[in-house]
A and B are shown apart, each in its own frame.
Chain A
Amino acid sequence: MTHTIALSAPAIWNPARVDAVHTGERTLDQFLKSVERRALRMAELATCNRDEALDLVQDAMFGFARHYAAKPAADWAPLFYRVLDSRLNDWHRRRNVRSRWLQVWTRADDEDDERDEIAQAPDTNDPGPLLRLAGTEAAQALEAALQRLPLRQRQAFLLRVWEGFDVAATASSMRCSEGSVKTHLSRALAALRRALEDHA
């Protein structure tokens, strides 16, 4: 059996245009459709796991539809990414707690095992769609570099550079000050430049 889902490019989200037309279920569906792929990639870069990322995006869609769908359509994009950012933060918090408990147990088993930064880095053996499609060294380096970034820096980079949000919208999505966004983005750009300068 073959999948018959069209792999067309996602629709471009234009809040001004949507405000002028019907803002009902169909509009919400259109909006979610326009952000779901990027949201999945963001979650996947954060979790390094497709299934976990899909669960997080689904949670974000549920939360957004429940709490923010009644807001003006022009505000939807920052609000959706705020919900997603919240889910990603929760996921990281849970993972950190889990890893702390695991460290306690593994330390008891092997006291000489020192913290290995390379081992702590995300698993890049699974190339993900970026590498599968592009198949280039640049794509692989970008994927790995983004996965190694701290969560807040990665979100600042993805929202500002990829999603095209301004500083205020990014700050709203990340629930932090505009100054924090600038700091996170500056650090993210510096770290990524170091990792990707050979491919720039």
Chain B
Amino acid sequence: MNTNEFPGWTERARSLLDESARDLDAPALARLNRARQAALAQRAPRRRAGWLFMPAGLAGACALLLAVGVWQARRPPSVATPAAAPAQAATAKAGSGLNAGDLDMIASGDNLDMVQDLDFYAWLDAQDEDHNG
């Protein structure tokens, strides 16, 4: 610093300020020391904690990716035909993987009985084909 750029009295002001900083009392210095140590301490664990959390975050991201991959692989492939498109759109709009027909079948007790006697209906169908043709 070029001290000549300031008026002469600033030299005395500077020395007075230096004295005041040099001769701070013991309680003030003790408090400054504690503040300094605390500032250094809060910096060190923070940096190490970052390194500790990095593998955990990486593992979490991998698990999430794996879960999304498995979910995508287990989804049934949807074949969009022109006739089925409106129904699929309606299903998608309803936010569910089931269509309305499935829900009706599950809700109806009669239809469940039909499913239990599926062998009988298959035999009946075969008899009809033999008879017709």
Contact status B36-A29, CB under 8 Å: yes
Known interface pairs A32-B39, A62-B42, A69-B43; A37-B24 also in contact (CB < 8 Å): yes
Q: Chain B residues with Cβ under 8 A from A133's Cβ?
A: 19-20, 23
Chain A CB within 8 A of B103 CB: no
- Chain A interface mostly helix, strand, loop or mixed? helix
B69 to chain A, nearest CB (A): 38
Shortest beta-carbon distance from A72 to chain B in Å: 17
Given contacts A5-B26, A10-B21, A129-B23, contact A36 B36 (CB under 8 A): yes
Interface residues of B in 10-35 (CB under 8 A from A): 10, 12-14, 16-33, 35
Cβ of B95 to closest chain A Cβ, rounded Å:
46
Q: Using known A-B contacts A36-B36, A57-B35, determine if residue A200 contacts B26 with beta carbons closer than 8 Å.
A: no
B1 contacts the other chain (Cβ, under 8 Å)?
yes
**Residue numbers in B under 8 Å from A160 (CB-CB):** 6
| Residue B79 at the chain A interface, CB threshold 8 Å | no
Instruction: Report if A142-B36 is in contact (Cβ < 8 Å); known contacts: A37-B21, A193-B7.
Output: no
Whether, in the assembled complex, B44 has its beta carbon less than 8 Å from a beta carbon of chain A, the answer is yes
Contact count A vs B, C-beta below 8 Å? 123
Interface residues of A in 44-60 (CB under 8 A from B): 50, 54, 57-58
Q: Is A3 an interface position by the 8 A CB rule? A: yes
- Chain B residue nearest to A161 in the complex (CB): B10
Residues of B within 8 A of A197 (CB): 9
Interface residues of B, dominant DSSP: helix
Number of interface residues of B (CB under 8 A): 36
A41 touches B13 (CB 8 A): no
Residues of B within 8 A of A162 (CB): 13-14, 17-18
Query: Does B40 make an interface contact (CB < 8 A)?
Result: yes
CB pair B36 A54 closer than 8 Å: no
Q: Could you list some 28 contacts between A and B, CB below 8 A?
A: A3-B26, A3-B27, A29-B40, A32-B40, A33-B36, A36-B32, A37-B24, A37-B29, A54-B35, A58-B38, A61-B36, A61-B39, A65-B40, A65-B43, A129-B20, A130-B17, A130-B19, A133-B20, A160-B6, A162-B14, A162-B17, A189-B10, A192-B13, A193-B9, A196-B9, A196-B13, A199-B9, A200-B12
Known A-B contacts: A5-B33, A38-B21, A130-B19. Give 15 more (CB < 8 A).
Answer: A7-B23, A29-B36, A32-B36, A33-B36, A37-B21, A41-B24, A50-B28, A54-B32, A57-B35, A134-B19, A138-B16, A139-B16, A162-B17, A165-B1, A200-B7
**Residues in B lying within 8 Å of A, measured CB to CB:** 1, 6-10, 12-14, 16-33, 35-36, 38-40, 42-44, 46
